Structure 1
Amino acid sequence: MDNNHIHVIFGASGDLTKRKLIPALYSLYLNKMLPEKFLIVGAARTEISSASFRELMIESIKKYYKSGDFSRLKEFADHLLYEQIQYDDLNSYNYLNQRLEELRTRSNINGNTIFYLSTPPDLYYKIPENLALVGLNREDNGWKRIIVEKPFGYDLDSALQLKEILLKHWKEEQIFRIDHYLGKETVQNLLVTRFSNGIFEPLWNRNYIHHIEITAAENIGVENRGGYYDNIGALRDMIQNHLLQVVGLVAMEPPSSLEPLSIRNEILKVFQSLRPIKIEEVSSIAVRGQYTSSTINNEYIKGYREENHINPESRTETYAAIKFFIDNWRWGGVPFYIRTGKRLPVQVTEVVIHFKPTPHFLFSRNNIYEACNKLIIRIQPDEGMLLEIGIKTPGQGFDVQNIDLDFKYAELASQRLPEAYERLLYDTIKGDNTLFARTEEVIAAWKFLTPVIDAWKNNHSIPLYGYPAGTWGPLEANKLFDEKNISWHYPCRNLSNNNTYCEL
């Protein structure tokens, strides 16, 4: 297949382009994963020349590309161009269309084009429509693909509006809703772990699994995103997209094949099986919190309401935890717990599968659940897997202790671990949409969380708990667990420190 193409990045003067997109594309070029003929056209309101844009991108690659190999940087930069555009002016898109035709003729590239929306979300409605009005969605002389960054709407109504606008002008297979979590190697390894290992698949159901928890913790605050974040919050920012997509991979049925449609169909079935949340039960199945000031290592850490561009009376949650069920034959009765938060002790994302205790536990333990096997799939950092099992403590008697059997991707010294955006951009070029959210998934996720969003917005009797920066969120989140001897797993940055409580 001819994958020679032009890659147009809207919002090319922004932070995402400099930090992630251009370094990822350079890495693909360095590793000979881009086609022979390609061009990258930056487009934004900023008035700069192509030469200045190249210099800015060269500096960005030097700063953010981690491998430090800049041996092909100069020749990569020769593929970079820049065009100024006014996003709400149709004449700008007509000019862009003409310019792309000139570049295709000059470089002998057919109509294959990727449009990346690295812009504020309000432009997701305008740019795809204007591109279509000038014919840049038509595939008569090559494929056309559009990449949309999250958030995919602010709520259910806006998500439905975005769906209507996108599908009015673009086919579903042309739309790539990018979720960088799904580009991480360990997230993709969920499929391999489940479906290639005979010891796991027979146990991956309600008969052997007690509960599942997924954590996405950040040790930073809102930084310079205060104006944006105060209108979004943790539930929309992380759970609605990233974590529910991970739930889909953990809980899906075996696909009939590894074709993208087969995998996406099974993920959609999980979303369609989520037990609807009743608005009157929100206070018992969801907990929200907001970080307060604290002192960490003799350094004063601001509370959320002290951050720049934050309403001093804000009720936006920086921590969200939720308990829910998937009503199907595989998972009936198994609780899922997901949480995310800012200013937690460590930056870590992981899935923990808690297996049930043995039917008749012979060995004395203060808490039988401490003896249960756990499978920990670490998504970031220190990517890898860990299986916790019980063994006899050396000496007399049958005292039992837990040990960890672990594997880390860093141990594969001969293998390169690509960045998430690198993998997803490469998949877009190939036309593989396996790891991208489809329209029905986005709408199902919004429908599922709408009762929580509405209750937190309208019912002020539901508490917003404070938690000191550097702790694991409000203690009330432990009340989501039905059994008193169970609480959240507290991960450390180092996967091997599984049994250590990590605090800043």
Structure 2
Amino acid sequence: MKKMNRSHMDFFNGHCFFHMFLLLLLTITSIMPVVINPKEIESCRHTTIILIGATGDLARKYLWQGFFELFIKEQARLTTFTFIGCARSDQDSGEIKLQKILLDVVSCDDISNISPGNCQILKKDFIKLTHYHMLKGEEMYASLNDKIEVFQRKAAKQAEGVGIGFISDRIFYLSIPPFAYLDTSRNIHKFCRPSTPYSGLRLVLEKPFGKDYASAKFMSDELAKHFREEEIYRVDHYLAKPIAMQVLPVRTNNVHLEMVLNRNHVEKVEVVLTETSDVKDRLEYYDEYGVIRDILQNHLTELLLLVTMDLPKNATNKEEIEQNKIRVLQKFQALSPGDILLGQYQNYGSEIQEGLQKSGSTHLTPTFAAVLLRINSKRWQGVPFVLMSGKKMDERHSYIRIVFKDRSFCLPYHTCKNRSELIFSLSHGPAKIPSILHTLNLPIYLQEGMFHEFSESDIANKNLTQYRAFSLIQNTNAYASVISSVFHRDRTGFIGTDHLLQSWNYWGQGLSVLGDNLPKLYPGGKGSFRNLSFQYDFKHIDFNDQTFSKSNQRVDLILSDEDINMVSHNMAQIPDTFLGNTLVSASTDSLIQRLVEDLANSALDAIRKRGIFHIAFSGGAGPLVLFSKLATVPYLFPWKQIHIWMVDERCVSSNHTEYNFHNLDERLLRFIDIPMSNIHPMPTYLFTDICNPDDLGSKLYENHMQKLISNQRLDFIVLGVGMDGHTASLFRGQNSLKERTRLVVLTPGREGDSIKQRMTLTFPAINKAREIAVFVLGSHKHEVLKVISNDETNADKWPITGVNPDQGTMTWYIDHDALFGKSLS
């Protein structure tokens, strides 16, 4: 490898001439005329591929074989190559090491398009064209450039000698740690950028591309100083796996499938990558990045986008594909701590201490994660997506699984016995080889000539008997596909800068909410699946093992002994009821979440039964936080079938800060897609003045309710409790408490209140409701709750006790601060 011998030079210099001669010979001697595009013969293309990190694991396992397959595929197309492997070893030992790697790892075993004998000849040629260059320091980039130009000049001279044009390319493939990307890329730009016309340069980077949004943005900005966007190729090799490359074609070729890939028909989507290996061979990297940064942020997210993106109008339009992916990423709903499950195999800590000599330290890096992801778009609202990955699991498998709702897709004469599923199995798993599987009741068209259907004898796993399974006839190594795409400047399967930053914008936020959540320990190897089993729906994800809960892994409160005793005592004695009705008590955030979920369930149940849902909200401070929470989860509610009413209203101008409807609009209505006709503010200002009794505004609202609400029975009412025990705008000692027929009345304000008049629903309207929630937050409400719970029921004294549903249900939602009487936040 030190010197190019004569036979090597003859091969190299005569390559373009030979293929031009062959094309001309075919043209002259063929019986049928051959049409030759002049552009195909007017230029010889010489490509220099520089692999930096040429003796590392990735190079050994995949890259050199990928370069060899590119050489075989392209060398008969007026193309010549030089391959240069760079590493830090000195020149002599590096040459020996690289020579051994090439002899060991470059193989003809899986190459089927040429004979074994010819493949062995080409392997020798490939090794002759491969050179080593020691790369340490800036001066060695300059000498690397000199070496590249020597090979390019020889190729150019030969092309000139046979009267054809010449173009050259340089591909720099960085198989090095990410911390070295920027210095290396700066040196490539400074010393190795081609200066001749008709020369191109591409920079290929392996993940990770940053560890959060800030680092990804910094790295992208630095690269942009020296390289154009079209010169940068960020690799996610999972997109180049043969089955992953079939996801979009399967969607495109199956219109009936594309029509049901939406929230109306899809029950759930799972994207999974499990491995049996540990992380001993990359401890330092893994301890810094963990499974979410290593797998979920890139591989699994990119696979999910293949399923959830809108199909491009033009399947070959790379820019449209990229923009469609970005649009989906922008709709990813922000993660909360409750959306993420973490695990760590038991030996991880000891491996870190042994491998990195970090004894005595605690390493909470997750080696397992399952994330519940939601997409806030019209197409995917309400569908749960789960991304899951783990190290040292029971088996190795990667797949995309789409599960359709029962009976949502069934053609005539096809069985509806089982629900429909479509599985893209990327590697390993029950089918053993990359494959596409679909249930018998889900017909899928696959391109003819590309797939082989499994026979029953091929499917040893009895769980697959309800599936049809297909494998590709021609499987291409993922890295061979990556390298071929780079060579042909096909950026479809690579990650653009905007795409990258949008992904990190989502995952960076998700990682930030984890804090110091403890991962659940699992044994590693057999039994890990059982130990980590979990359940989920659109709202929740949690381990099946109830002895482990995300919420009780860490206490962030600093309490005195008195506080601890008080909390422990009260927690142990939270009753099931309050004033004879159901009690739900939790921390403030958890309580709000629970009420939102109960509201969503009630709405969906009402719409399923009656086609419509009527809800009324009271005013005051309590509902404000509820409105804000509802605004963050608009996808939970079918707003077009929901009508929103007011329980009460203050008689003030519409822009007043205490105008209840103003707060509802500011906190919720402007964030949801609800028809204006479904919103019903109280008519406090009609003809003459605010809340003028002569305007009959309360009567108008009552008539409106009678017209739109069947039997004047609201489906759900959210009430609060004032410090004086009032609810809605029903105050102690007022005549409105004795109203037995009117649904809506004007009533005086509270004694001493600056707001002198209000409009409110009465007990007849409130108690007709199907469900009533009394929502109470804050330690300042403890005293009134304590008093009314110990006093006799007296609506004239404590108006809240007059709420007593005729046929519906009533639930008290009281946070711990209000129940215990001491703030714990």
Question: Which among 466, 490, 493 is matched to residue 404 of structure 1?
Answer: 466
Work out whether residues 41 and 81 of structure 1, in 8 Å CA contact, stay in contact via their aligned partners in 2.
yes
- Cα distance per residue 1:168-203 (max 9 Å; x no partner): 111111100011111111001001111111231111
1:44 is matched with which residue?
Answer: 87
Name the SS of the counterpart of 1:200 in structure 2: helix
CA shift, 1:104, in A, is 0.6
CA–CA separation in structure 1 for the residues paired with 2:333 and 2:390: 24
Aligned partners of 2:398 and 2:426 also within 8 Å: yes
- Give the TM-score normalised by structure 2: 0.51
The aligned runs of 1:326-341 (5 Å cut-off) are 326-341=375-390
Report deviation, 1:442.
1.2
- Of residues 453, 457, 464, the one that matches 2:519 is 464
Residue 60 of structure 1 and its aligned partner are, at CA, apart by: 3.1
Any idea what the Cα deviations from partners look like across 1:192-233, whole Å, max 9, x if unmatched?
111111231111111110110110000111131122211111
CA 1:329–1:419 in structure 2 vs 1: closer, same or farther (change >3 Å)?
same
Between 475-484 and 209-218, the greater mean CA deviation after superposition: 475-484
SS at match of 1:232: helix
Structure 2 vs 1, CA of residues 95 and 55 (structure 1 numbering), >3 Å: closer, same or farther?
closer
Distance (whole Å) between structure 1 residues aligned to residue 106 and residue 169 of structure 2: 29
> Of 320, 343, 346, which aligns to 1:292?
346
Deviations 1:318-346 (A, max 9, x none): 00110111122211221111100001111
Match of 1:451 in 2: 509
1:6, 1:38 within 8 Å by CA — same for their partners in 2? yes
Residue 243 of structure 1 aligns with which residue? 300
2:396 maps to a residue whose letter is: Q
Aligned to 2:259: 202
Alignment size in residue pairs: 452
How do 1:283-432 and structure 2 match up within 5 A?
284-292=338-346, 308-309=355-356, 311=358, 313-358=362-407, 371-381=418-428, 382-389=433-440, 403-409=465-471, 412=473, 416-432=474-490
1:67 shift after superposition: 5.2
Residues of 1 paired with 2:76 and 2:49: CA distance? 11
Check whether the contact 1:375–1:387 (CA below 8 A) recurs between aligned residues. yes
The aligned amino acid for 1:107 is A
Q: Against the structure 1 CA distance between its residues 32 and 100, is the aligned structure 2 distance closer, same or farther, given a 3 Å change threshold?
A: closer
Q: Write the letter of the residue equivalent to 2:470.
A: K
Give the corresponding residue for 1:59: 103
Deviation of residue 487 (structure 1)? 9.8
**C-alpha distance after superposition, 1:102-133 (max 9, x if no partner):** 12112336441100101111111111111112
Partner of 1:100 in structure 2? Answer: 148
AA at the equivalent of 2:147? R
User: Which residue number corresponds to residue 497 of structure 1?
Assistant: none
SS at match of 1:4: strand
User: In the alignment, which of 127, 132, 146 is matched to residue 82 of structure 1?
Assistant: 132
Task: Summarize the Cα distance change of 1:304–1:198 in structure 2 as closer, same or farther, 3 Å threshold.
Answer: farther
- Find the residue that maps to 1:122 and give its secondary structure: helix
Q: 1:437 — aligned with what? A: 495
Letter paired with 1:433? R
CA RMSD of aligned residues (A): 3.1
CA distance in 2, matches of 1:107, 1:473: 57
The whole-number CA distance in structure 1 between the counterparts of 2:182 and 2:301 is 24
The answer for the alignment partner of 1:495 in structure 2 is none
- In 1: Cα distance, 2:198 partner to 2:540 partner: 63
CA shift at 1:64, angstroms?
9.7
Instruction: Find the residue that maps to 1:154 and give its secondary structure.
Output: coil
The corresponding residue for 1:491 is: none
- CA 1:359 to 1:13, structure 2 compared with 1: closer, same or farther past 3 Å? closer
Which stretch of the first structure deviates more once superposed, 257-266 or 227-236?
257-266
Whole-angstrom distance in 2 between the partners of 1:175 and 1:370: 50
Tell me: CA distance 1:305–1:37, structure 2 relative to 1, closer, same or farther (3 Å). closer
Distance 1:384 1:269 in 2: 29
- Give the match's secondary structure for 2:370: strand
- Once residues 498 and 356 of structure 2 are traced to their aligned partners in structure 1, the CA distance between those partners, rounded to angstroms, is 34
1:213 and 2:249 are equivalent in the alignment = no
Cα deviation, 1:356-405, whole Å, max 9, x if unaligned, reads 112799xxxxxxx99422111101121111112479xxxxxxxxx99523
Q: Distance in 1 between matches of 2:385 and 2:194?
A: 40
Closer/same/farther in 2, CA of residues 344 and 132 from structure 1, 3 Å limit: same
State the one-letter code of the partner of 1:115.
Answer: F
Conserved? CA contact 2:47–2:170, under 8 Å: yes
The answer (yes or no) to whether the contact 2:423–2:436 under 8 Å persists in 1 is yes
Structure 1 unmatched runs, 5+: 294-300, 362-368, 392-400, 489-504
Aligned in 2, Cα 1:234/1:402: closer, same or farther, shift over 3 Å? closer
Q: Which amino acid aligns with 1:161?
A: F
1:478 corresponds to which of 527, 531, 534:
534
What's the TM-score once normalised by structure 1's chain length?
0.82
Partner of residue 54 from structure 2, selected from 3, 9, 12: 12
Structure 1 residue 238, shift from structure 2 partner: 0.3
Q: Distance in 2 between matches of 1:370 and 1:477?
A: 27
Structure 2 counterpart SS, 1:199: helix
- Range moving further from structure 2, 115-124 or 301-310: 301-310
8 Å Cα contact 2:45/2:167 also seen in 1 = no
Read off the aligned partner of 1:178 and give its amino acid letter: V
Distance 1:219 1:194 in 2: 31
- In structure 2, the CA distance between the partners of 1:359 and 1:134, relative to structure 1 (3 Å rule), is closer
| C-alpha spacing 1:98/1:360, structure 2 compared with 1 (3 Å) | closer
Report if aligned partners of 1:319, 1:341 keep a CA contact under 8 Å in 2.
yes
| CA deviation string 1:290-328 (max 9, x = no partner) | 0125xxxxxxx9976576338563111000110111122
Partner of 2:13: none
With 231-240 and 371-380 compared, the bigger mean Cα shift is at 371-380
Aligned-partner Cα distance in 2 for 1:408–1:347: 19
Deviation at 1:137, TM superposition (A): 6.5
**Displacement of 1:409 after TM fit?**
1.7
Preserved CA contact (<8 Å) 1:287 1:476: no
Q: Read off the aligned partner of 1:330 and give its amino acid letter.
A: R
How far, CA to CA, are the matches of 2:297 and 2:510 in structure 1?
A: 11
Q: C-alpha distance in 1, partners of 2:49/2:388? A: 36
Q: Structure 2 regions of 5+ residues with no counterpart?
A: 1-39, 157-165, 411-415, 443-462, 545-825
